[in-house]
Structure 1
Amino acid sequence: MTEPAIELTGLTKRFGSFTAVDGLSLSVERGEIFGLLGPNGSGKTTTIDMISGLSRPTSGSITVLGTDVLTDPRKIRRSLGTVPQENALYEELTAEANLKFHADLFEVPRKGLDQKITALLELAQLQERRKSRVSTFSGGMKRRLALVRAMLHEPELLYFDEPTLGVDVQSRHDLWDRILELKARGTTVLITSNYLEEANALCDRLAIIDRGRLVALDSPSRLRHSFGDTVLEMRTHPTPGEDIVRRVTALPGVVSAIASDGSLKVTVEGGADVTGKVVTEVVGWTSLQEIQSREPSLDEVFLSLTGKELRE
């Protein structure tokens, strides 16, 4: 059996009396795109810092690419490519100069370096801007250059913090294509993102953590269906109140029911028969004016697991 790219066992990090990561255990398989999601303050950044060897855990173990991070963090950092939330490019240098500086930091052999840079810039559709200063680049171009830089030393594992933060829709989808190409080449990709649409589009599996603990781990599709089969959005007269919500919630097969913006949103589990019975009951209690049916979204799963309150 192939050894996982990342293995966390009982990982805990405390800062004084505050526990940022609390007994976290999970594994990331080689060659998969793995998403680490959670609200602000959930422990994502602290977990990544420990995986990268930038912070030591209070307890637990971390193995990355077969190496114990605690015994050889330098080796891990050389095997890891990072695309941080801030691109951290040298704006007054050219794209080529940025890449050559990175190559020197990671001791990439000079022989064949120009050809490697050319191939990567072509992959990112930036070859024509090779000699241009980065300060003249758009946000999407800078993001693609940051990706190229992270790939230059041929890491086995790539980490993206908010891959498409601040870029337009076209650039976002182009970056998604580049990330999927990396997976096709066998690279393991670890992503943290607040764009759940992005996580759904890219990730083979998702781990949702909250208050330092793992609360869900599965594929995006299975996570969605764990929340229910169908979401019914019904506009009724009179506007649904607490009494209707309470009665609908008590029906067999109803996972949740809320009244919002004058509509009743009901999540149902159990297929068409259960859905039909729920609608029949609602029609008997109110005047149904409009109904729409759809699959649950990853956003709804995320909020159901982590809550809706804002966090700093």
Structure 2
Amino acid sequence: MKKRYYVLITIFLLIAFCVVWNIYDNQRFVVTEQTVTLDDLPNSFDGYHILQISDLHGKYFGENQLDLLSAINQLDYDCILFTGDMNKYEESDLLSSQAIFDLINGIEKKEMAFWVDGNTGPFAIDMINGSCTGNLTKIGKEIEESGVNVLISPVEITREGESIWLVPELNQTDIQMNYLEMTEDMFESTEDYQNVILYGQELQKWYEQLSDNGQVKIRVNHYPIQANMTQADWDGLGYLDYDLSIAGHYHGGQLRLPFFGALYIPSPTSGIANGYFPKQNEVKGLNQIIDMQQYISAGLGSSASISFLDFRLFNTPEINLITLRCHK
């Protein structure tokens, strides 16, 4: 009887510890550092630092983001990538977006800051029927006025006469299906249709310019490329010859178990079934997909369709400092 009592007390204390620990852990964050070696990286970019901020989901770290800002403003970085899902839900109004604007406005060094949309707000890029018009939304204009560039088309970064490229999603299949093959009857107005077609033609020109041009190209997207991608899949979709992909979305699995890792990621091609019990090297950090490396941030916030699961379990929030290195 006494043994059973001690067992129950031990279980209770263990559960209490886990609850208290995770409440504490959800309120803090770490800076996760990663070195990525790229074969064709120009010498002038050796040691180039990229700060990635992902999946904030409306969360605050200190009053007006002061804890997060204190850490960011002490870091040495060359550019910032905001990789989507900064609001809790899909709303894109300023009130719903206050957490990310408090963060952006408090960052001191943002001369080279870039934004891509996620699957929650705020949405900076105007979309119709899954196609981009090439225009910014009202909130997108606010983001740019706050000092962050919305990555609608590829951006060349130059140093000492050498270049690397930051590239939003750009593959031949997407350009054809969501732009060049669209017909006017799919849109409410001729203007919308023309904007989509013109933007698709612009994307096609970028694709042709960047394809196999020998320069380092970094894919910047909220969504990771599926880890089980084969060479045939890659060629069939017509991806650019990316050297590195930087993404978020998975939250590091959000709910993790000690000594095991993530229980689920929103990737139907990973895990036993529809993302459950994924391969742990696909969840966060650096992995290899064919000839491209991919870095996935575990992000800062949480989300869930079931409200009582809207927290991170044994999964410390993170921002990411990626250092590019030449292959020597």
Q: Of Structure 1 and Structure 2, which has the larger fraction of its residues in strand?
A: 1
Relative to the length of structure 1, the TM-score reads 0.30
Which has the larger Rg?
Answer: 1
Q: Which has the higher contact order (CA 8 A, sep 6+)?
A: 2
> Higher helix proportion, which one?
1
TM-score, normalised relative to structure 2: 0.29
